[in-house]
Amino acid sequence: MLVRDDLEACNRLIVDRMQSEVSLIPQLAAHLIAAGGKRLRPLLTLSAARLCGYRGARHVKLAACVEFIHTATLLHDDVVDESALRRGQASANALFGNKASVLVGDFLFSRAFELMVEDGNLEVLRILSAASATIAEGEVLQLITQNDTTTTEAQYLKVIEGKTAALFAAATEVGAVVADQPSARQAAMRDFGMTLGIAFQLVDDALDYSADQAALGKTVGDDFREGKITLPVLLAFQRGDDAERDFWRRTQEERDQGEEDLAHALTLMRRHGALDDTIERARLYGEQAIAALASFPDSAEKTALADVVTFVIERAR
């Protein structure tokens, strides 16, 4: 990995800055952070900065900010979704309680801003505070559209742009900002992150109906049980007959679910190619992400970022 040293420095900074004399905070944070996610978002900040020719060390701090914000949203997301599993382990709220998860999320979020203030770049602060507001808006919109089969594809896209892609976009954009790139380059990096983020969430939403628990690190069918109206459901609903729509309304709107319902949902999705078409959309967004890299000269860093796109899409196979 090109940015291996950067990522190790970032990991050290994360562990260092999640400390608090209130020991429950690092305990709970470590449960999520040290459990070792993919570190995809900080990796994007580090790689984007290097692609833009940055040679300093500030990007390490900004990558840690991005991971803190991500971890805070995970903690709050686990609370609101009442998830039992996260990354294959018991979720923090199941172990520590909802109360602690909300508050430690708040702590990490505040700590992210403290790190940004230490860095002292107002443009970075603007990008990441705006992204944070957009994430919250996306999550609220998801809450509103949950259990509502009349949700449109446009609404769904707005949800995933907010809850997922906004932070990907901010992560890559600040990489260009710290490298002091002209605004066209900053916009290109932002576009790369945004389209990659949409692709990532589309694949995630397909995997929720297809991966085995070990591979995905969470329970299959979580979205189905909660009645989260993701693209696979939207497509199956749109393409289904009256009886099928009744099935989706019963299981997703009324959340009246029996033992065989998840299997039946999968059958309907296969019948209508809902999962394949979701992955296909992800592939198209992935192509847009690659295209956003076009203005950058070829380099090992550019290849590495293109490889991330491939990795994100290939997770679905």
* Contact pick of 15, 37, 87, 113 for a second copy (by CB under 8 A): 113
Q: What is the 3-state secondary structure (H, E, C) of the chain?
A: CCCHHHHHHHHHHHHHHCCCCCCHHHHHHHHHHCCCCCCHHHHHHHHHHHHCCCCCCHHHHHHHHHHHHHHHHHHHHHHHHCCCEECCEECHHHHHCHHHHHHHHHHHHHHHHHHHHHHCCHHHHHHHHHHHHHHHHHHHHHHHHCCCCCCCHHHHHHHHHHHHHHHHHHHHHHHHHHCCCCHHHHHHHHHHHHHHHHHHHHHHHHHCCCCCHHHHCCCCCHHHHHCCCCHHHHHHHHHCCHHHHHHHHHHHHCCCCCCCHHHHHHHHHHHCCHHHHHHHHHHHHHHHHHHHCCCCCCCHHHHHHHHHHHHHHHCCC
Rounded least distance, CB 229 to a second copy, Å = 15
Residue 111 touching a second copy (CB under 8 A)? yes
Position among 15, 30, 140, 211 found at the interface with a second copy (CB under 8 A): 140
Q: Among 9, 49, 60, 100, which residue interacts with a second copy (rule: CB under 8 A)?
A: 100
Number of residues near a second copy (by CB under 8 A):
40
The yes or no reply on residue 22 touching a second copy (CB under 8 A) is yes
Look-up of token digits 């999640």: 18
Strands 89-90 and 85-86: antiparallel
Binds a second copy by CB under 8 A, chosen from 117, 215, 284, 291: 117
Piece of 132-140, 174-182, 209-217, 257-265 that binds a second copy (CB under 8 A) = 132-140
First to last CA, the chain: 23
Report in angstroms how near the CB of residue 21 gets to a second copy at its nearest. 8
Name which of 255 and 271 has its Cβ closer to a second copy.
255
Single out the residue of 174, 209, 72 nearest to residue 132, CA to CA: 72
Q: Which is nearer to a second copy, 5 or 118 (CB)?
A: 118
Question: Which residues contact residue 286 at a Cβ distance below 8 angstroms, ignoring those fewer than 6 apart?
Answer: 195, 196, 199, 309, 310, 312, 313
**Minimum CB separation from a second copy for residue 109, in Å?**
7
291 touches a second copy (CB under 8 A):
no
Binding-residue pattern over the window 229 to 268 for a second copy, x denoting contact by CB under 8 A: ----------------------------------------
Provide, rounded to whole angstroms, the least separation between the CB of residue 110 and a second copy: 4
Task: Please identify, using beta-carbon distances, which residue of 13 and 279 lies nearer to a second copy.
Answer: 13
**Residue 95 is a binding residue for a second copy (CB under 8 A):** no
Give min distance, CB of 136 to a second copy, in A: 4
Contact flags string 72-91 toward a second copy, x per CB under 8 A: -x--x--xx-----------
Polymer length in residues for the chain? 317
Q: Is 29 a residue that touches a second copy (CB under 8 A)? A: no
Among 2, 9, 14, 25, binds a second copy (CB under 8 A): 25
Contacts to a second copy by CB under 8 A = 20-22, 24-25, 73, 76, 79-80, 98-100, 102-104, 106-107, 109-111, 113-114, 116-117, 120, 122, 125-126, 129-130, 132-133, 135-137, 139-141, 143-144
